[in-house]
Structure 1
Amino acid sequence: MSIYVGNLSYQVTEDDIRGVFGEYGTVKRVVLPNDRETGRLRGFAFVDMNSDAEEAAAIEALDGAEWMGRDLKVNKAKPKEDRGSFGGNRGGYGGGGGRGRY
């Protein structure tokens, strides 16, 4: 499971995050998503730590804490939702709709 870290400064680096979260355990991975169009950081990150206990300690200590001029939002990351097929078709049929099939 990952930790979601929101309301980050757009100047934050992976090393910055590793430094802060490293105070609570071993940081295995940091993901800093970029905006596809601008390439700019999106203001949030995902952090994987070595154990659930380390994650819990980091969440408790850092949620709501001020860092780099911002109040952090830190919690367990929610699993990525299955967005289904194109057009939200849940029945598994077609998906192109209205293209003169008849």
Structure 2
Amino acid sequence: MAKFGELIGVEKPVLIEFCANSNAAQNKINTLSSVAATLGKNAKVIKINVNENKALIDALDVQKTPTFMIYKKGEMQWRQTGLQDHKTLIGLVLNYV
């Protein structure tokens, strides 16, 4: 959990996708790669596997995947469960730059 605090405690926005291993995982990776490439140094983009991070998932009450969150300065700014396209995610993150 301390490591998670370090990840989200930065000045720039942090977009996190909580996901599970699936056949659709490659599509999600491509979406996140596109978001990360577009945002560049303006934001951090992170993917967290729910199956490998049970304590964190329980602490954040992630019930379904994918769940997206945006943090800034350690505080959650936005949260949504369900698929999101890269344009939507980029627009959302840019609100917090």
TM-score of the aligned structures, taking structure 1 as reference length: 0.26
Structure that is richer in helix per residue: 2
Mark the structure with the bigger radius of gyration: 1
